[in-house]
Structure 1
Amino acid sequence: MSNKIALACIIDDDDMYVSLVKKIIEAKNLCQNLMVFQNGKAALNYFEVILSNLDQKSIPEIIFLDLNMPVMDGWEFLDNFTRIKNKLGKAITLYVVSSSINPVDIERAKSINSVKDYLIKPVTIDDLETIFSGKRT
């Protein structure tokens, strides 16, 4: 893959899921670096620090966001992230990844401009390859 993603981000408290996705991303060589946050607050704190120094290499190109997490859930993160996203000066593709199949959650997530798509866990190898190749619409 010639235009490999430099940095991707997972915001999810499910260690087993995160471990599986990390292994797939590494095995398929889908991106150069991967950062993981256990909750939305930790991720938001990171992005607020990035705002102060605008280091483009530290801003992920793709974010996979879980909805159900402790401390700050995905909905709260989205509310806050939407306010600062444009100030980061880099295109970020955000996917909500959840085990929820509730149509209300799916429609709510898809109605948020910052969200590219809603994926239901477990995410497949094909899903990840399509996302990282830039072919998912």
Structure 2
Amino acid sequence: MSKFKSCCIVDDDEFFAFQTKKLMKEQGFCENVLVFSDGQDAIDGLVGLLIENISLPEVILLDLNMPRKDGWEFLDEFVKIPLSQRENCSIYIASSFVSQKNIEKTKSYDMVGDYLVKPLTQESLQRIIESKTPC
């Protein structure tokens, strides 16, 4: 049985998205995985779910460096979604860069549960399960 009903990967790295989906499936992490290649597509897709009366994914893995709309811009747009519609959703930064500046900046966003370093592992997914905090 899956830990979560749905998850979302927001990352322009197709290989990372593929590997992470595979790992999630192997670990029974979630039933459904949405993938968006940049922050703009993700915001549009998530707002589209809400318009269709579909709940947001419980977990969002967010890269910071992407074209069009990066992770920071995504977060700035995401907070505009009413809390009642995003309260069961947690965002986890998934980045290749270990930057203390970025780690500190993510703490200013209440909906960010953790800062994970790529590539994600079974232990990374376990950290998400253990630390999942509502947005």
- TM (normalized to structure 2)? 0.88
Q: 1:123 aligns to what SS in structure 2?
A: coil
Partner of 2:11: 12
Match of 2:131 among 122, 131, 136: 136
Cα deviations by residue, 1:70-128 (Å, 9 ceiling, x for unpaired): 11100000000011151425410110111121211110012211111111112221111
Match of 2:113 among 113, 116, 123: 116
| 1-structure distance, mates of 2:111, 2:98 | 20
Q: 2:33 aligns to what SS in structure 1?
A: strand
| 2-structure distance, mates of 1:23, 1:102 | 27
> How many residues are aligned here?
132
2:11, 2:63 within 8 Å by CA — same for their partners in 1? yes
| 2-structure distance, mates of 1:105, 1:85 | 25
Provide runs of 4+ in structure 1 moved above 4 Å.
none
Partner of 1:34: 33
Q: For structure 2, which runs of at least 5 residues remain unmatched after alignment?
A: none
| Sequence identity percentage | 38
Partner of 1:99: 96
Q: For structure 1, which runs of at least 5 residues remain unmatched after alignment?
A: none
RMSD: 1.7
